[in-house]
Amino acid sequence: MILATREPLSIAELEQLSPKLGIVEGVVSRLEALLLYKDREDPIRLLHATFREFLTSREKAGNFFIQPEHGNQTLALGCLSLISRYSSKDNYTLRKGDDSIQRAYVYSSVSWVYHCSISYRKLALNGPILEFAHSRLQTWAILADFWERLDTQSCFREVLVFSRQNMSPKITEAIVSRSLETIVRPLVMLFLELKLNKVTCFDS
């Protein structure tokens, strides 16, 4: 997971994306001599950039070879799981929550499409993505508008492009449908509000 992240994440943030609690801290402690970090909240960085190149090269690393796509698979599922858990909460609850949860939520919202697109087994993600598209995509997009750094329109563009790449037609259909509903609904509400205001002004 550490090698697959788009940006350095802390132990606390990685644990939010991990399939099991405690795994991340155990792995980090064993690799402590090769990593740079101060505490659980400090982003983990590799001791040297060439370490990543070494570990992700089958020829150089040999038995120590790490395939980043496996980490992307774990992170993709972790991002979807985290978004699904916290998209059911309101904006105030999230902002008052633990800092590591907030950072992990922002990271997940920005990065879940990226990790899904370069995962080891994309077909294995069809189920979780389809469930997310049906049950959480709209809520996530609406909530994302309240969060700094989250550009919903850009996220939707990435989602729509991704849905056409080696994905089930059902996923493409669900994502397009939910995306359009999310984009169109505010426009309809704005139109109705303007119309109501116009009628009110006319009556007065």
Report how far residue 48's alpha carbon sits from residue 106's, in angstroms, rounded to the nearest whole number.
Answer: 27
Give the DSSP letter of residue 6. Answer: S
Identity (one letter) of the amino acid at 75? L
pLDDT of residue 53: 79
Neighbour count for residue 14 (Cβ, 10 Å): 26
Taking the C-alpha atoms of residue 58 and residue 162, their distance in angstroms, rounded to an integer, is 28
What per-residue confidence (pLDDT) applies to 153? 65
- Nearest-angstrom CA–CA distance, 83 and 110: 11
Token code pair at residue 124: 């294995």
46, 52 contact by CB (below 8 A): yes
Which pLDDT score is estimated for 189? 46
Q: Which pLDDT value is given to residue 192? A: 47
pTM equals 0.76
Query: According to the model, what pLDDT value does residue 191 have?
Result: 45
Check the CA dihedral 125-167-83-118 and report its sign: positive
**Residue tagged 């697959």 (tokens):** 4
Side-chain-side CA neighbours of residue 99 (13 Å): 7
- What is the mean pLDDT for each group of 10 consecutive residues in the chain (204 residues)? 89 91 83 85 86 79 78 91 78 72 88 83 77 79 66 67 67 66 51 50 48
Q: Are strands 35-36 and 45-46 parallel, antiparallel or unpaired?
A: antiparallel
Alpha helix positions (H), the chain: 11-17, 23-30, 49-55, 58-61, 68-86, 91-95, 99-117, 126-135, 137-144, 152-163, 169-203
Under a CB-based contact definition with an 8 Å cutoff, are residues 148 and 103 in contact? Answer: no
CA 82 to chain centre: 8
